[in-house]
Chain A
């Protein structure tokens, strides 16, 4: 017996070297990032080493989990643990974005209006007219903002459609229809990649033509922080979808046993909802 299971079949893994590899990865990433930001020559190398270890770590860990799942080690109770785990993980992500949406709210409703009000406005920055969008009173640049009804509107359509296609894939998986499953997964991934490409085009447009960048005061900071972290999450989600596509092709999932697929689709819907909030609060209003 290579694994330890109790009589009810709750799977408890054997001792593992994987976690310490992950710690080594984060060790290099943290030191590398600090060095890079402070212009220490070793920075890029340490950072790259960190990423290399991290990628190796993710491969072996998830490879192991997939192997355990495929060999039937995971009982329904373990499956339920994964469901709870993924739900709470997504909740933590919600709270992470909440910090930045809260920041946006605070700037628009409190700090920017406050700078033009009372004595602050009268004596410190008499020329400043508070409003949104703004670069703030101390930055002498003309602000060009991103219009909601160009690329962002197309992106909204793309992500909403990808939410539909991933649900179609789930339906096909439950109906055991492999052709439709793989087709709809490819469509979902394609929509994700097109979204990311358009985001890249938009960032390029912002930096080169609009002169909009991170240093453009309250608007620039919140715009790039929110869309940037969202884009990072779409990237991670797309990578996860690609892994799931390969697993679909390999025939890993059964109509009654496919939590990995569901976890990724939950995550995908989560980045979808974040985008809708972004579209309304960052681009539109």
Chain B
């Protein structure tokens, strides 16, 4: 593709760089790879924290009756599990991928704003401290659910204020990170890399970053109004003053629905890199993938009220939001079709990244179908706030986003560390995750259809068996992640030396760099033909 000798350049620069060592290297770094690593480890630590909360939830629900926690604490667990997994685990993981991969995939030396990049990351631990501290203040953490609906969130204690400011800070981090990613993609591509030659992962992140800049400020507005209603006597969400609690839901979901796509579009991007590499065929229908991703992003702004069918809305509104929601199935269908068509007649092998990508395809698509079912207004009115909804969004967030994150980690670990990961461990991790995931969440469909409400610490006797299955699955899923942790650490410590391009079918720019890549990716921009 290009005549670059990055090793020599890296060698030159070793004499010039005066980098702090030890902890201070990580605190002060302006390097996209260091920052990407920080994001990924932060995400993993939040994944463990949120996972422990999930253990707490599933332990209480292991059998009917009140066993372990008071109902208020149970509510805090569900709320904080949601907030931590969404804002602490999934989103930072994808930003970590963007940091590592975007500059390498477009042939840039680093991110456009390298110093601000550091700040985007180092705001996250501040937000995490706020969230975790809130468990230990009078009244505990907020228990209003991760959506923080008024009026419950207006009435809660000091823990709610911690959550509000944590959201403000995470929002600032996301906006800065997104401005950085968009600017990098728009302004720092190697000569010859036109927009329509960019790898799909880069495209999906461009669109994701746009969504983030558009909706994170709206969330900031929503929680600001919550704060003034709580402390400054405004009446935004209080009917006595002419306000409306439903207004909060509108503003929140105007953020919340694009947020759903913020958490899945980069996953689509990763899968779109992995499947062609292991099918040894170029991605089928590249341009239609780009258009489908853009359509999903645009449609995501006009479907928010499908989260609110039961809160009261004119029939015309219900119809509009129902049809608009179902319309999203079209571009999503295009994507699934293209992934399958990419594999058609390919010379496929099933290393761990491909296993996770194919697993993603099966299980995420199921989450997509249950989403279509929930889009149907009369059905949704029956299923609102049941375990069917819990099953649906865990199919898209765990089997969708998280499986894609795993696929991406195994796919790029050889590039990042310079070592091959242990294929046996990777496969073990995949199969354990897939089985325990379905054990946990598949049964929740039945529970929901039978009417078991979500966010309640106790349930009727008839739900007992499926809940026990789900709890066993959840513990199994959580423990399986130790295999993942071990596989990653083992790969970082050593292992078979990875060549520059360990995957035969991979063809993006990062594979032209040695493994591990030099500290500054492309000092001389490669020329893309």
Instruction: Mark A residues whose CB is within 8 Å of B.
Output: 1, 4, 6-8, 10, 12-20, 22-23, 26-27, 30-31, 33-34, 37-38, 61, 77, 80-81, 84-85, 88-89, 91-93, 95-96, 98-100, 102-103, 106-107, 110-112, 114-115, 134-139, 214-221, 224-225
Q: Is the CB of B175 within 8 A of A92?
A: yes
Q: Is the CB of B213 within 8 A of A4?
A: no
Within 8 Å CB of A26, what residues of B?
123, 126, 169, 172
Q: Is the CB of A137 within 8 A of B247?
A: no
Instruction: Name which residue of chain A comes closest to B121, CB basis.
Output: A19
Taken together as a complex, chains A and B put the C-alpha atoms of A38 and B218 apart, in Å, by: 25
Select which of A8, A15, A219 is within 8 A of B20 by beta carbon. Answer: A15
Within 8 Å CB of A135, what residues of B?
241-242
Taken together as a complex, chains A and B put the C-alpha atoms of A203 and B507 apart, in Å, by: 62
From residue 218 to 252 of chain B, which have CB atoms closer than 8 A to chain A? 218, 220-222, 224-225, 227-228, 230-236, 238-244, 246-247, 250-251
10 contacts between A and B (CB under 8 A): A7-B524, A12-B109, A17-B28, A22-B123, A96-B217, A96-B218, A96-B221, A102-B251, A111-B239, A134-B242
Within 8 Å CB of B129, what residues of A?
27
Q: B30: CB under 8 A from chain A?
A: yes
Within 8 Å CB of B234, what residues of A?
214-215, 220-221, 224-225
Q: B68: CB under 8 A from chain A?
A: no
Flag B118-135 by CB within 8 Å of A: 1 or 0 each. 110011011001100000
Q: Which of A34, A107, A135, A136 has the most chain B CB atoms inside 10 A of its CB?
A: A34
Within 8 Å CB of A37, what residues of B?
161, 227, 230-231
Q: Is the CB of A95 within 8 A of B217?
A: yes
Within 8 Å CB of A17, what residues of B?
27-28
Main secondary structure of the interface of B (DSSP, over half): helix
**Number of B residues contacting the other chain (C-beta, 8 Å)?**
81
Within 8 Å CB of B220, what residues of A?
96, 99
Flag B514-529 by CB within 8 Å of A: 1 or 0 each. 0000001011110000
Select which of A7, A99, A139 is within 8 A of B240 by beta carbon. Answer: A139
Taken together as a complex, chains A and B put the C-alpha atoms of A91 and B221 apart, in Å, by: 15
Q: B326: CB under 8 A from chain A?
A: no
Q: Is the CB of B241 within 8 A of A138?
A: yes
Taken together as a complex, chains A and B put the C-alpha atoms of A247 and B237 apart, in Å, by: 45
Q: Is the CB of A99 within 8 A of B218?
A: yes
Taken together as a complex, chains A and B put the C-alpha atoms of A17 and B525 apart, in Å, by: 29
Taken together as a complex, chains A and B put the C-alpha atoms of A212 and B239 apart, in Å, by: 19
Q: A88-B182, A136-B243 given as contacts; is B217 within 8 A of A4 (CB)?
A: no
Q: Is the CB of B187 within 8 A of A77?
A: yes
Q: B328: CB under 8 A from chain A?
A: no
Within 8 Å CB of B382, what residues of A?
none
Select which of A31, A95, A215 is within 8 A of B213 by beta carbon. Answer: A95
Select which of B122, B231, B233 is within 8 A of A19 by beta carbon. Answer: B122
Q: B288: CB under 8 A from chain A?
A: no
Q: Is the CB of B188 within 8 A of A81?
A: yes
Instruction: Name which residue of chain B comes closest to A137, CB basis.
Output: B240
Within 8 Å CB of A20, what residues of B?
27-28, 122
Q: Is the CB of B187 within 8 A of A214?
A: no
Flag B78-90 by CB within 8 Å of A: 1 or 0 each. 0000000000000
Q: Is the CB of A103 within 8 A of B236?
A: yes
Q: Is the CB of A6 within 8 A of B218?
A: no
Q: Is the CB of A15 within 8 A of B28?
A: yes
Taken together as a complex, chains A and B put the C-alpha atoms of A16 and B117 apart, in Å, by: 11
Q: A7-B524, A215-B233 given as contacts; is B175 within 8 A of A16 (CB)?
A: no
Q: B287: CB under 8 A from chain A?
A: no
Within 8 Å CB of B254, what residues of A?
99, 102
Q: Is the CB of A214 within 8 A of B165?
A: no
Within 8 Å CB of A1, what residues of B?
16
Within 8 Å CB of B477, what residues of A?
none
Instruction: Name which residue of chain B comes closest to A1, CB basis.
Output: B16
Q: Is the CB of A14 within 8 A of B242?
A: no
Within 8 Å CB of A216, what residues of B?
241
From residue 350 to 370 of chain B, which have CB atoms closer than 8 A to chain A? none
Taken together as a complex, chains A and B put the C-alpha atoms of A15 and B520 apart, in Å, by: 13
Closest 6 CB pairs of A and B: A138-B240, A99-B221, A136-B242, A218-B242, A19-B119, A217-B241
Q: A6-B524, A12-B114 given as contacts; is B242 within 8 A of A38 (CB)?
A: no
Task: Report the minimal beta-carbon distance from B96 to chain A, rounded to whole angstroms.
Answer: 17
Taken together as a complex, chains A and B put the C-alpha atoms of A217 and B233 apart, in Å, by: 9
Q: Is the CB of B239 within 8 A of A137?
A: yes
Q: Is the CB of A34 within 8 A of B213?
A: no
Q: A99-B218, A215-B234 given as contacts; is B241 within 8 A of A139 (CB)?
A: yes
